[in-house]
Amino acid sequence: MTHREERSFSITLHLSADFPDDYTGDDDGFAWHERFQQTLKPKLVAAVFDALRGDPRFKAVAAPRGRDPESGLDLDLVFDATPKR
């Protein structure tokens, strides 16, 4: 029987934007959030995968677990604990 150990590690970003008093609501279609989605999010995801590729004994697989993949990045990260010969 295989022995399995598990731990969790989370990085959570809470996004917000502040507007002047004369702002009339989300007339711009949440452009600030779209800017995040288009410019920063792809770079963050790429940086995470680049870091994980730094150790070939770790394998990452996307695992959204029922959550909308547009709203977060959930990964299963498995370490190959087989002794290397």
What is the chain's mean pLDDT, rounded?
90
| Amino acid sitting at position 12 | T
Q: Is the dihedral of CA 23, 26, 29, 32 positive or negative?
A: positive
63: nearest Cα among 45, 77, 75 = 75
User: Per-residue pLDDT tens for 3-44?
Assistant: 999 999 999 999 999 888 888 777 778 899 999 999 999 999
CB 76 within 8 A of CB 63: yes
Determine the Cα–Cα distance for residues 11 and 73; give it in Å rounded to an integer: 9
Average pLDDT over residues 57-79: 88
pLDDT over 70 percentage in the chain:
100
The token duo for 41 is 């999010």
